[in-house]
Amino acid sequence: MTTDIMHLAGNISDLLISLWRGTIDHAVDDDPADWPWAVLSDEDVWRAHGDAVERAGHFLPSSYDRKPRNIAEKINTQYKTWEFQLYIFGLAPILLYNLLPTEYWANYCKLVRGFQIMCQSTLSKEELLDAHALLCSWEHEFELIYYRLQESRIHFVRPCVHQVVHLVSETIFKGPPICYAQWTMECTIGNLGEQIRQPSKPFANLSREGVR
Amino acid sequence: MCRNSCIVYTGPFSNLETCPTCGTSRWQEERLQGTHGRSKTPAQTFTTIPIGPQLQALHQNKDSAADMDYLRRRTEDVLQQIRETGSIPVIDNIVMGWDYLGAVLDGDIKPQDIVLMVSLNGAQLYDSKESDCWIYIWIIVNLPPDKRYRKLHVRPGGFIPGPHKPKNIDSFLFPGIHHLAALQAEGLPIWNARTDSRYISDLYLIFTTADGPGLVYWNGMVGHSGKNGCRMYCGVLSRRKTRGKHYYPALLKPRDRCTQGSDHLDINVFKLPPGGCAEYANHLRTIVSVPNQTQWDKQKTKTGLTKPPLILALSPS
């Protein structure tokens, strides 16, 4: 079975954002106000952060194709996976500098660098070793500083946290993750969706387009 | 297929007249009644697009036949490099993966064979629940990476119409996988326009992919919140809360309190076993030989498997 870095990027983004905003489920006596990492839980800070994301878009090279939208405004209206990926693995490390406590920021940076390496289409042996060290130590620290070995917080350790640790060994077995990511599938769905001309009978139409 | 997308009348269901899950008729009832049972029109149909002829067609054009040769050329380069330097310094393709190279060295993939990936996903085609459907596509690994993922070369394998979620997805995949299994058994005759030669090509399915929840359809594993929930089947057991049902892959044991079965010792992240646990075959044997539901429930939690996957029928398994 293969890991899919597209959904992985989406799931990790979702986990980290809900931790930083303090929106993740928690026990009654475990108040997000006491969480040192919940730096985006304040509504004003979160709005300002969203504006910063939008403004940062102007400085992206044109090779990035499109700008990510304001995350604070659009998060509930189909913020796309590529936008999350650009945010979590591109912009947020800079925007959260001095905002996240150093310990958490440093931990997060390990994930970002490790994941960026794993998204490359060409990977050298040295890069793989580097990424493995970064991602494994991220996972270990993540458990120590967020979950803190408290049973009521065990759900912070979502499956995606564990998946990250397998990325490097999977690459050695299967080749670069990008080669078998689900982007192709989503793109095909988009293509076929566009081609449907008769919404009343979508499936008949789709099957015909597919056959063509 | 069943009008509520429960099953498709294939394989063991092919002789049924009503759906074993929801009890609705297989046929359009008005028509059936109107013609006194003579006209049997299916209530709903789905599409499978056979991959074989598409692969044959790819070889019948000089340019695309040259593209299809990419994998062979690349494999030779890599093997040559290994012979010369004893290592793979850079990984930039599936060709460098051990899974692929292993299959080549074992002789499972021969120079003229075709290597495929399959990907399954649910899709909403436009903004309405009615357009929900499931699609699977074939990706042809023989093509160079810059063409492989292009619209033109991504081959749709089948569409399963919604809006209900398919309940027995194996029965939907059955015609497509059966077709592949048949081609594997008999080989696919190819006429190659570039070399003007005829030969028999074998098909090799290398990866099956899907979104996280969709993977269970391919591999017959429990969902990702199961105790043995790792998608790579690394064998590391997850932990749950005392009154919780979901398991989470926390490697470190909670220190405040911990329920039985989740109280195994801390696991070192740097010593994690790779995916594809060696116990898979044994576990699968256990799950297919359970005598009753209670035992099945118990073994399901322990092994993280629910059923033998359909793709096991393919060679080499």
Tokens 């299967």 map to which residue? A174
Q: What is the pLDDT of residue A108?
A: 95
- At residue B189, the pLDDT reads 92
Higher pLDDT, B239 or B151: B239
Same domain as B177, residue B231: no
Whether B306 maps to a domain, the answer reads yes
> Could you tell me where the beta strands, DSSP code E, fall in B194-304?
197-201, 203-210, 239-240, 247-248
Neighbours of A19 (CB within 10 A): 21
Q: What is the pLDDT of residue B317?
A: 44
Q: What is this structure's pTM?
A: 0.82
- pLDDT, one tens digit per residue, over B87-103 is 887 888 888 888 888 88
In a domain, B256, yes or no: yes
Tokens of A16: 């980290």
Low-confidence ranges of chain A (pLDDT < 70): 1-3, 185, 192-212
Per the domain annotation, does B248 fall within a domain?
yes
B10 part of a folded domain: yes
Residues B40-67 pLDDT 10s = 888 888 888 888 888 898 888 888 899 8
Residue B278 maps to a domain: yes
Confidence bin at B216 (pLDDT 50/70/90): low
Residue B260 has pLDDT above 70, yes or no: yes
Judgement on whether residues B203 and B302 belong to the same structural domain of the protein: no
ipTM of the complex: 0.82
B251 vs A143: CA distance, rounded Å: 8
- Does B65 share its domain with B159? yes
* pLDDT averaged over every residue in chain B: 81
Q: How far is A137 from chain B (nearest CA, A)?
A: 8
Instruction: Say what the pLDDT of residue A212 is.
Output: 47
> pLDDT digit string (tens) for B3-24?
888 888 888 888 888 888 888 8
Residues B177 and B151 in one domain: yes
Q: Are B233 and A29 in contact (CB under 8 A)?
A: no
- Residue that wins the pLDDT comparison between B60 and B282: B60
Cβ-based contacts of A169 with chain B (< 8 Å) = 274-275
- Which of B187, B214, B241 is the C-terminal boundary of a domain? B214
Residue B258: pLDDT over 90: no
Which residues 6+ apart lie within 8 Å of B24 measured at CB? B2, B3, B4, B18, B43
Residues B22 and B116 in one domain: no
The confidence score (pLDDT) of residue A205 equals 54
Cβ of residue A183 closer than 8 Å to a chain B Cβ: yes
For residue B317, is it within any domain? Answer: no
Query: Domain span at residue B224?
Result: 220-310
Judgement on whether residues B40 and B51 belong to the same structural domain of the protein:
no
Residue B306 binned pLDDT confidence (cut-offs 50, 70, 90): confident
Same domain, B114 and B60: yes
Mutant choice from A184, A187, A201 vs B, greatest count of B C-beta within 10 A:
A184
Tell me the Ramachandran region of residue A108: left when phi exceeds 0, alpha when psi lies from -120 to 50, beta otherwise.
alpha
Domain identity same for B164 and B89 = yes
Query: Which tokens in the block code for residue A76?
Result: 């509930």
* Shared-domain flag, residues B254 and B133: no
Q: Are residues B187 and B294 in the same domain?
A: no
Statement to judge: residues B63 and B189 lie in one domain: yes
What average pLDDT score do residues B26-45 get? Answer: 82
Residues B157 and B279 in one domain: no
| Domain-embedded: residue B316 | no
The nearest CA of chain B is from the CA of A32 a distance in Å of 19
Q: Is B315 a domain residue?
A: no
Residues of A in contact with B275 (CB under 8 A): 1, 166, 169-170, 173
With an 8 Å Cβ cutoff, are A196 and B252 in contact?
Answer: no
What are the two backbone dihedrals, phi and then psi, of residue B139, each rounded to the nearest 5 degrees? -115, 130
Is the CB of B240 less than 8 angstroms away from the CB of A185?
no
Of A162, A163, A174, the CB nearest to B97: A174
Domain count, chain B: 3
Give the Cα separation of A64 and A7 in Å (integer).
Answer: 19
